[in-house]
Amino acid sequence: MEHYYNPEIETMPREEMKKLQSERLVKQVKHVYDNVKFYRDKMDAAGIKPEDIHGIEDLHKLPFIEKDDLRDQYPYGLLAVPVEDCVRIQSTSGTTGRRVVAFYTQHDIDLWDECCARAIMAAGGTKEDVVHVSYGYGLFTGGPGLNGGSHKVGSLTLPMSSGNTDRQLQFMTDLGSTILCCTPSYAAYLAESIKERGIKDQIKLKAGIFGAEPWTEEMRHDIEQSLGIKAYDIYGLTEISGPGVSFECSEQKGMHINEDHFIAEIINPETGEVLPEGEKGELVFTCITKEAFPLIRYRTRDLCVLTRKPCSCGRTHVRMTKPLGRTDDMMVIRGVNVFPSQIETVLMQDGYPSNYQIVVDRVNNTDTLDINIEVKDGIQPGDAAEEKKLVAQLKSMLGISARVHLLPQKSIVRSEGKAVRIIDKRKLHD
Ligand code: DLL
């Protein structure tokens, strides 16, 4: 039987949902216009007043907001309530210089937690479950989001955070964890470790809620087989709240978007034109219930397809495919956002010319990051001390480890057009 956290909302007939979204949108547009100079200026420049927005049919009239706007407005420029009404921030892993910081009121946290509670219940979770959260805690939204969702469901919550595999497995066996929440690559790693230790018969897991990075159906199949569980996808982004913007149900054919909080559109990334259902394009979200940091028509840069075909789980909310790629060059490696520009910055600061190549792969279900760099003058290829130094600098910039290979000069192929700096060997669906 399908479990819902909020059956009334999750199975709400479409017409009613549209009405609810329209009412909330009208209110939200007024809220941002009155309280955020950035939106007021943008709407004024576009000749739009809050009174022109009567419902979701008018959404397309509003200007977009992009990641660069968020960086420009850092830290308080997009805050729609007084800072003293906020109780939390979360942040993205950040690029060079400015990070993106999202603010939450207590109400915002409650709604976000509910979104994650819906995801946990869609994966079969109840208060009898032991929810093992191995997403990172801290500025990253993964840990705090699933933690809050698990509390709302009433499950016993294990706030493990990531890393320390021995401790993960100890708690998993001693406390009988039944639902695992982490990145798919970490789930695969845990599965391997369980096999190596021969403790599979002590594991009580029945489901996993995996997201924050791209993963394939093949990987899902492997994880399901090796852990003996059902693996559910979950999607979200810091700017919009965190995990739980959308999540999979028992049907496992796309992720239901929590439409009572987020209106989704698909646009042509080149022209900004709204595309009809079923077409692939850039996903855009409008937050209609958030108080502190409500983004209006935020361009996620994730490419996907939406469908409103009825779902066997009974949920009426629109479904999105897994992200099929990104409009920009952000890579998600082991769940962490990495931009080539960050790597370039480190190399440039050290006086390396821009002859480098980033090779991303997935070996034994774990992402690998290799950086091939041509030596600068005075350094020999393969200089171990220099490679070690660069590894440390990259780790501090990116937050994850990379392998560095110092190669002879002129050994990296030059391109006549745009340079090919990133070689992503991970096979993803298109
Ligand atoms: O990754 C939030 C999250 C935490 C989602 C835990 C799911 C589970 P950010 O660090 O801001 O937030 O990264 C957001 O990660 O725009 C996508 O490109 C990518 N992403 C997130 N979930 C998925 C997924 C969190 N299920 C960016 N599949 C997004 C593929 C995903 N990519």
Q: Cα of 318 to ligand 1 centre, how many Å? A: 18
Q: Range with the lowest mean pLDDT among 38-42, 195-199, 306-310, 338-342?
A: 338-342
Tokens for 136, please give them: 């990172």
Q: What does the pLDDT look like over 4-37, one tens digit per residue? A: 999 999 999 999 999 999 999 999 999 999 999 9
Q: Cα of 237 to ligand 1 centre, how many Å? A: 5
Q: Which atom of ligand 1 lies nearest, measured to the CA of 300?
A: 16
Q: What does the pLDDT look like over 47-105, one tens digit per residue? A: 999 999 999 999 999 999 999 999 999 999 999 999 999 999 999 865 445 678 999 99
- Write the CA distances from 92 to 76, 147, 303, 330, integer angstroms: 16, 18, 19, 12
Lateral strand order in the sheet of 207-211: 156-159, 130-133, 179-182, 207-211, 230-237, 242-248, 255-257, 319-320, 306-307
Q: What does the pLDDT look like over 253-276, one tens digit per residue? A: 999 999 999 999 999 998 999 999
Residue 338 confidence (pLDDT): 87
Cβ-contact 324, 303 below 8 angstroms:
yes
Does the CA dihedral 212-216-219-224 come out positive or negative? positive
**Total count of residues recorded for the chain:** 430
| pLDDT surpassing 60 at residue 430 | no
Residue 418 confidence (pLDDT): 43
Q: What is the DSSP letter of 274?
A: B
Q: What are phi and psi of 288, to 5 degrees?
A: -105, 0
Question: Ligand 1, from 133, 135, 235, 282: best to mutate by most atoms within 8 Å of Cβ?
Answer: 235
Q: Which DSSP string corresponds to 361-389?
A: EEETTEEEEEEEEEPPTT--TT-HHHHHH
pTM: 0.84
Question: Ligand 1, from 219, 237, 293: best to mutate by most atoms within 8 Å of Cβ?
Answer: 237
Compute the distance between CA of residue 111 and CA of residue 66 in angstroms, rounded to an integer: 23
Q: Cα of 245 to ligand 1 centre, how many Å? A: 10
Residue 250 confidence (pLDDT): 96
According to DSSP, the β-strands at 356-363 and 319-320 are unpaired
Kindly indicate the confidence band of residue 189, based on its pLDDT and cuts at 50, 70 and 90.
Answer: confident
Tokens for 244, please give them: 């739980």
Q: Cα of 46 to ligand 1 centre, how many Å? A: 31
Question: Ligand 1, from 180, 215, 302, 320: best to mutate by most atoms within 8 Å of Cβ?
Answer: 302
Q: Which atom of ligand 1 lies nearest, measured to the CA of 93?
A: 10
Tokens for 261, please give them: 């909080």
Residue 162 confidence (pLDDT): 87
Q: Which atom of ligand 1 lies nearest, measured to the CA of 214?
A: 30
H/E element, 194 = helix 184-197
Tokens for 106, please give them: 């207590």
Q: Taking the mean position of all CA atoms in its chain, how far away is CA 326?
A: 12
Ligand 1, atom 1, residue with closest C-alpha: 212
- The closest of 299, 368, 373 to 338, measured between CA atoms, is 368
Amino acid (one-letter) located at 409: Q
Ligand 1, atom 30, residue with closest C-alpha: 214
- Write the CA distances from 226 to 191, 222, 374, 377, integer angstroms: 6, 6, 41, 49
Q: Which atom of ligand 1 lies nearest, measured to the CA of 233?
A: 26
Cβ-contact 197, 175 below 8 angstroms:
no
According to DSSP, the β-strands at 366-374 and 403-407 are parallel
Strand intervals (E) in 146-297: 156-159, 179-182, 207-211, 230-237, 242-248, 255-257, 262-267, 281-287
- The closest of 132, 222, 183, 159 to 334, measured between CA atoms, is 183
Q: What does the pLDDT look like over 131-162, one tens digit per residue? A: 999 999 999 999 999 999 999 999 999 999 98
Question: Ligand 1, from 93, 101, 141: best to mutate by most atoms within 8 Å of Cβ?
Answer: 141
Q: Which atom of ligand 1 lies nearest, measured to the CA of 209?
A: 8
- Show the ligand 1 pocket: residues with CB < 6 angstroms: 92, 135, 141-142, 211-214, 233-238, 242-243, 300, 302, 322-323, 326, 332, 337
Mean pLDDT of 327-342: 82
